[in-house]
Amino acid sequence: MSESAIPSPDKIFPVSWDQFHRDCRALTWRLSGLGPFAAVVGITRGGLVPATIVARELNVRIIDTVCVVSYEHQTQGDLRVLKSVSPETLALGGGTGKGLLIVDDLVDTGKTARIVRDLLPDAHFATVYAKPQGKPLVDTFITEVSQDTWIFFPWDTGLAFQPPIREGGA
């Protein structure tokens, strides 16, 4: 697998906590008529926060995880499933994911999504953000960004002074 690094500064999309929360709620509005869902499955680590927000808003009490590692900081490497869905959650989805909701923060190249889709082929797959290469693998998303855009999520950043755009700020 080839590795991709962070793009140039003009292709960075910083997302604040407020914006991310609004986008997660917008995702929930799109999902609200599609259920009911027996459980929410968050893809770790980025999918944990949106999975929690979506589960709260949909009043789903069972939250499970699929733990897939594909990024080391800002470089995409080989994929590994560290933890699959529990047997109890798998049983709720009839072994194929029917009636389950998979949630992640972003679908990028689609490599992580493909692995999770293979585990739960009949689940509904939702992400907050989608890039063109991964978009065909998800059923519902809120915002599409270009393939060469790097999203800085709120948990990736800290508060710091930002110079005005005219003075070289992002």
Which member of 64, 108, 118, 156 is catalytic? Answer: 108
Nearest one of 84, 128, 81, 122 to 101, comparing CA atoms: 122
Write down the pLDDT at residue 1.
Answer: 32
Between 52 and 78, the more confident residue is 52
**Least confidently predicted of 75-89, 92-106, 129-143:** 75-89
138: number of Cβ within 10 Å: 20
What is the pTM (predicted TM-score) of this model?
0.85
Residue 4 has pLDDT above 60, yes or no: no
Q: Which two tokens stand for residue 79?
A: 């994929």
Annotated catalytic residue 23: no
6 close to 71: Cβ distance less than 8 angstroms? no
> Cα–Cα distance between 104 and 86 in angstroms, integer?
18
Residue 29 has pLDDT above 80, yes or no: yes
Longest dimension (CA), the chain: 57
Annotated catalytic residue 139: no
Alpha helices in the chain (DSSP H): 17-31, 48-58, 87-92, 111-119
Which member of 105, 118, 122, 148 is catalytic? Answer: 105
Average pLDDT score over residue span 84-104: 96
In CATH, what number is assigned to the domain containing residue 35?
A: 3.40.50.2020
> Cα–Cα distance between 2 and 78 in angstroms, integer?
9
Question: Which amino acid, residue 15?
Answer: V
Write down the pLDDT at residue 69.
Answer: 86
Residue 27 lies in a domain: yes
Cα–chain center distance at 111: 12
Average pLDDT of the chain to the nearest whole number: 89
Residue 23 lies in a domain: yes
Residue 2 lies in a domain: no
* Residue carrying the six token digits 């999975």: 51
Residue 4 lies in a domain: no
In the chain, how many domains are there? 1
Domain that holds residue 43: 9-157
> Cα–Cα distance between 20 and 50 in angstroms, integer?
8
Residue 147 has pLDDT above 70, yes or no: yes
Q: What is the pLDDT of residues 36-71, one digit of tens each?
A: 999 999 999 999 999 999 999 999 999 999 999 876
Which member of 104, 118, 122, 156 is catalytic? Answer: 104
Average pLDDT score over residue span 123-137: 97
